[in-house]
Structure 1
């Protein structure tokens, strides 16, 4: 498996910090499982491990886990351009692989954080497509939900030198208005911080485009670092980084290729369970979405009501 999971000592420390234990976690997972079985409009394939991912990342709030789970499946119906034809081996997806390095680092930090690495290739100015990138991200995050064990949260690191004017022109606002709320509000992810190292002056243009689509909390968790990769060492353990950044991990090319192989092995799930959507004819009236409420300027999902 590409991802190295949390070890026993890290698990004990995280549970201690969360002021809980595995008994409480498992109890809430069973309650969420029971609730899901009563929601006939939702797909029913989720394992206890996957439900645990929701409970854990919703900080043990069952109500929030229910809301996240419902919206997670509902979005497959509402934005089919992200979730239909999920084959990671299509020509379009393989071309995308050559325009961006985008994968989780295999090892967790010592404190138990997962780290996501992003760097755009020089060819992105001509060939990058952010709709394909949204589809790729949906595949990637579904893999994490399916295969990740518990972690303390997620850090995202972005190679700032790869942010160019050509890339900026390729970012379609209509896609971002759907993608960013999905990433930051729907997915059960504890995104603790995004670090843009080697941050170039043009970063301010990206900020103007992206920040209005994020909550104030998420805006405050994006940190442009004007220094080189060594500034990351303040937040990320050096040894888990790719060797280009002084770490002990494989090169970014090797990691990208390994991740592509991992996603190709995940193809069957993406094309079966990963393509199931809600049956809106069976949705309880009091939890019904109003589609117009979902993709406003603020990207708010607060209209979803869960019984």
Structure 2
């Protein structure tokens, strides 16, 4: 089983949702590619597969797609702590995969959402920063292989300590959602905290502060994991939660293999940066970096 199980019917449904035929969609891809050729500050001309996913992320709006693609490259310099040491071959990121699960399930949900699972393996050893880097590394592979309609995030808090939770600082959470909005358009279908404890409340309270109600209403805090079997089919759940899919351990190993498969791309990303001296128009990043001042609520694109 491949980690990203996407067949032609998924793409067909996605195009129908955004009122696109295969022909018009490919014309949109070519339009974006031609635009990229007029942007000398960008370090490469993006592959068709990635442009397709950026179009899907932005509901096939060409102008929004241009903005997000530009930011995909630009943000690597604006938030260096997420990107300067982000190659999955680095020791600290490999060690992070041994102390925390941050994995995706091969089977999409009924609504075509990719399901992420997060769970502490070794208490008090997890780094939210390294977890965040891994999420964006997964996004890099998804741009190549997935159909990025939306995602569902499931955080299992069973073995998370108060110390683990306290590492999710307001500044870090703001940066995470800033990148999520500025590059990936916040296509969040739902976020579940299962096996939750009271000390998750400060995190939830801060999320309420920075997220628009439309997004915040998609967050669910549950005392156990029973809700997963009520909402999701067994095909979309790991064995750990009574599903028929690969276990969290197996998904972790599948992800490690996928990172190795794309190692050349990650090596290239280490040095892929925009040349601001060649940018045709000055970048306005005041809104992007709003988390350095007053937090600005993030909206769904």
Residue 188 (structure 2) aligned to one of 176, 191, 198: 191
SS in structure 2 at match of 1:43: coil
Please give the alpha-carbon distance, in whole angstroms, between the structure 2 residues aligned to 1:88 and 1:39. 29
Match of residue 232 from structure 1 = 228
Please give the alpha-carbon distance, in whole angstroms, between the structure 2 residues aligned to 1:6 and 1:136. 21
Gaps spanning 5+ residues in structure 2: where?
A: none
| Contact 1:181/1:214 (8 A) holds in 2 | no
| Contact 1:177/1:295 (8 A) holds in 2 | no
Instruction: Describe the superposition over 1:269-304 as per-residue Cα deviations: whole angstroms up to 9, x where unpaired.
Output: 11114641110001123x4234585233335799xx
| Contact 1:88/1:263 (8 A) holds in 2 | yes
Residue 245 (structure 2) aligned to one of 249, 267, 279: 249
Alpha-carbon distance change, 151 to 134 in structure 1, aligned in 2, over 3 angstroms: closer
Residue 158 (structure 2) aligned to one of 146, 158, 161: 161
Match of residue 206 from structure 1 = 203
Instruction: Describe the superposition over 1:25-79 as per-residue Cα deviations: whole angstroms up to 9, x where unpaired.
Output: 2121111111111111112241111101101110011111111111121110111
Please give the alpha-carbon distance, in whole angstroms, between the structure 2 residues aligned to 1:203 and 1:59. 33
Please give the alpha-carbon distance, in whole angstroms, between the structure 2 residues aligned to 1:268 and 1:85. 15
| Contact 1:105/1:115 (8 A) holds in 2 | yes
Match of residue 87 from structure 2 = 87
Match of residue 218 from structure 1 = 215
Instruction: Describe the superposition over 1:70-120 as per-residue Cα deviations: whole angstroms up to 9, x where unpaired.
Output: 112111011112111333122211221122100111121244221111112
Cα RMSD, aligned residues only: 2.4
Please give the alpha-carbon distance, in whole angstroms, between the structure 1 residues aligned to 2:298 and 2:274. 17
SS in structure 1 at match of 2:42: coil
Alpha-carbon distance change, 251 to 28 in structure 1, aligned in 2, over 3 angstroms: same
Match of residue 295 from structure 1 = 290
| Contact 1:178/1:295 (8 A) holds in 2 | no
| Contact 2:195/2:222 (8 A) holds in 1 | yes
| Contact 2:18/2:60 (8 A) holds in 1 | no
1:21 paired to 2:17: no
Aligned ranges 1:272-283 → 2 under 5 Å: 272-273=268-269, 275-283=271-279
Match of residue 266 from structure 1 = 262
1:143 paired to 2:141: yes
Alpha-carbon distance change, 293 to 242 in structure 1, aligned in 2, over 3 angstroms: closer
- TM-score with structure 2 setting the length: 0.88
Alpha-carbon distance change, 54 to 160 in structure 1, aligned in 2, over 3 angstroms: same
SS in structure 1 at match of 2:89: coil
Once structures 1 and 2 are overlaid, which stretch shifts more, 288-297 or 99-108?
288-297
Instruction: Describe the superposition over 1:215-254 as per-residue Cα deviations: whole angstroms up to 9, x where unpaired.
Output: 333222212233x333123432222211111111121112
SS in structure 1 at match of 2:198: coil
Please give the alpha-carbon distance, in whole angstroms, between the structure 2 residues aligned to 1:38 and 1:172. 40
Alpha-carbon distance change, 6 to 62 in structure 1, aligned in 2, over 3 angstroms: same
Alpha-carbon distance change, 193 to 133 in structure 1, aligned in 2, over 3 angstroms: same
- TM-score with structure 1 setting the length: 0.87
| Contact 1:104/1:114 (8 A) holds in 2 | yes
Alpha-carbon distance change, 293 to 57 in structure 1, aligned in 2, over 3 angstroms: closer
Alignment coverage as a number of residue pairs: 297
Gaps spanning 5+ residues in structure 1: where?
A: 303-307
